[in-house]
Amino acid sequence: MTDAVFTESAYAARLSEHKLMGTRCQSCGAVYLPPRPMCGACHGDNMEWVDLPTGGTIQAFTSVFIGPTAMINAGYDRKNPYCVGIVKLDEGPAISAQILGLDPSNPESIKIGTPVKATFVERGDDDNQRTYLAFQAGEA
Amino acid sequence: MTVRKLNRGVAIVGAGMSNFGAFPGKTSRDLFVDAFQRMRASVDKGLDPNDIEALYIGNFSSDVFENQGHTAAIMADWTGLTPRPATRVEDACASSGVALRDGILGIASGMYDIVLVGGIEKMTNLPTERVTDTLAIAGDMLYEIPVGFTFPGFYAALATAYMNSYGATPETFMKVGLKNHENGGLNPLAQYGSTIAQVMENKKKRAEAKGRPIPTWEDEMAFLHDDRANPIIAWPMRLYDCSPISDGAAAILLVAEELAGSFTDEAITITGTGQASDRAMHDRNDLTSLSAARLASQQAYEMAGVNADDVKLAEVHDCFTIAEVIATEDLDFFPAGAGGKAAEEGRTARDGDKPINTSGGLKSKGHPVGASGAGQVVEIWKQMRGLAGERQVAGTLDIGLTHNVGAAGQTCVVHIFERK
């Protein structure tokens, strides 16, 4: 793993090791998750990998009853909905992710501001198996 | 921000759209020919198609929907306009709103005098899951869709943030759908041109005919709360909060303002245009507003020299009911957090003080995504000229507005129209 490569595949490789890492601009300090090679704030390209906090809070969410093909293949449907949302990391950026440990069939019970902790889920068939960042509620 | 003005006035002298709906056996080129001929018929003093100098065609994804790329040159051919320059514009569901802007810039720059702007989308060839997957490519295919977001999901997440910030409830959004179906019920070109009450009545009749128990909903809100009749797609967005899968096309004729008199004595002038982009939802500071819509509308208002209070009616991008609520705030019709209440109080109804989506909106009229922005302009043009039939808004409609959104606000484009 070359440290100076800030691509999606480099990020995916870190996720597969259950590491939550983003990039930080060494010129202006802006932090990015997912990682990116160029800083959108100062337009510099002096990036470095940085460990990110694994705790966060739910900023927005939904319970998806009609999912995309990838989630249908993962076993989700109308009778087994899932939660996806936007989680703001403690003192860090926000990211889209599945949120586990909630009751997706009872979305009225889910509260914005709920603390969550990063976790990693494996999805896909043998050849296409990948690790995705997700968050777990109830253990934060 | 510097206030930019067009170097030259631009007017609409013709506008037409195909019916929106599901039309097996018709391709996007058939629908576009239909829209083109209706546009021609709308030009008061007639149009010689040979006078058209260029085409800008909004189209999101014929590539996947019809296995057909490079659609603008085909539309030029099918309307007899080869070899004029024909440009396809793709900005997700804002494609034809942006095509309109490109057409305006083409005339304002002095490059052209007469431009055809269009929008096309043929979505119903594919099964629903594949349509969902196709629309999803307007989101971030690396970081949003693979983790489980869908388009209803994006807007549902905005809805939860909105409810949390402002105390709105799912009923707030249901009332927007009710209102848009009331309007669409008066639009003969609408895909779902039925009021919710009519939908309920039809379902009862169908149950009776099939010998099934006849549903007993107390009223429309009871129907909209019924999980079977109105299933959750992505909470709090239910089926009747979501725009349908549609086929359709629209065509608009733009000319340099000084030439408008040779086409009509009732030209509608475009006085403001604004467009902005935004990042993925998770990179935004505010999830109760679309910042690109706020920026685009500010640009358009400043260019036109008007403000939100001057606007008599608007077509806004209600791909989901929450989107209409947020749009009415981003356009400054109502303060942040007040759009939901305004809708519940009927202020956005046809007889309210700020009529929104008199066409039925994307919800009831239909949402052939690449044609939707141009379709909005057709409605504003009809309303401002008094041609909207049963759904005509009363009073002098001297200023109108369209608000067209790509994806979950990654693109927004706003136009202001004036009848002088």
* ipTM of the complex, rounded to two decimals: 0.96
B242 in catalytic set:
no
Provide the 8-state DSSP code for B18.
P
For residue A127, what pLDDT is reported?
78
Yes or no: say if B71 and B28 are a contact pair by the CB < 8 Å rule: yes
Q: Read off the pLDDT band of A129 (50, 70, 90).
A: confident
Same domain, A119 and A67: yes
Q: Are residues A21 and A59 in the same domain?
A: no
CA of A132, closest CA in chain B: separation in Å?
7
B132, B151, B160: best to mutate for the A interface, most A CBs within 10 A: B160
The domain spanning residue A71 has which CATH number? 2.40.50
Q: Please report whether residue A1 resides in a domain.
A: no
Range of the domain at A15: 8-51
In 10 A of CB B193, how many CB atoms?
Answer: 21
Contact A93 B283 (CB under 8 A): yes
**Is residue A30 a part of any domain in this protein?**
yes
Instruction: Label residue A140 by pLDDT band (50, 70, 90).
Output: very low
Is B318 within 8 Å of B357 (Cβ atoms)? yes
Q: How many domains does chain A have?
A: 2
Task: For A76-103, write each residue's pLDDT tens digit.
Answer: 999 999 999 999 999 899 999 999 999 9
- Pair A73, A28 in one domain: no
Q: Which residue has the tokens 């066409």?
A: B359
Q: Are A36 and A68 in a shared domain? A: no
Q: For residues A67 and A86, state if they share a domain.
A: yes
Whether A98 and A33 map to the same domain: the answer is no
Q: Is B147 on the interface with A (CB under 8 A)?
A: yes
B126 touches chain A (CB under 8 A): no
3-class secondary-structure state, position B29: helix
Span A53-76, average pLDDT = 94
Helices (H) and strands (E) in chain A, counts: 2, 8
Residue segments in chain B with a per-residue pLDDT below the cut of 50: none
Residues A30, A62, single domain; the answer is: no
Q: Per the domain annotation, does A70 fall within a domain?
A: yes
Mean pLDDT, chain B, whole residue set: 97
With CA atoms as reference, report the closest residue to B172 among B267, B248, B238. Answer: B238
A117 pLDDT more than 80: yes
**Residue A126 to residues A72, A122, A123, Cα–Cα distance (Å):** 17, 10, 9
B120: nearest Cα among B167, B55, B181:
B55
Higher pLDDT, A138 or B358: B358
Q: Which residue, A83, A63, A85, A70, is CA-closest to A125?
A: A70
Answer yes or no: do A47 and A91 share one domain.
no
DSSP B188-206: TT-TT---HHHHHHHHHHH
**Is residue A125 situated within a structural domain?**
yes
Q: For the residues of B368-396, what is the DSSP string, one character each?
A: -HHHHHHHHHHHHHHHHTT--GGGPPPS-
B412 catalytically annotated: no
d(Cα B159, Cα B59) in Å, to the nearest integer? 28
pLDDT of amino acid A2: 55
Pair (A41, A60) in one structural domain = no
Give a yes or no: residue A2 inside a domain. Answer: no
- A34 and A79, same structural domain? no
* Same domain (yes/no): A60, A121: yes
Cβ neighbors of A74 (< 8 A, separation 6 or more) are: A123
Is the same domain home to A129 and A60? yes
Q: Judge whether A3 lies within some domain.
A: no
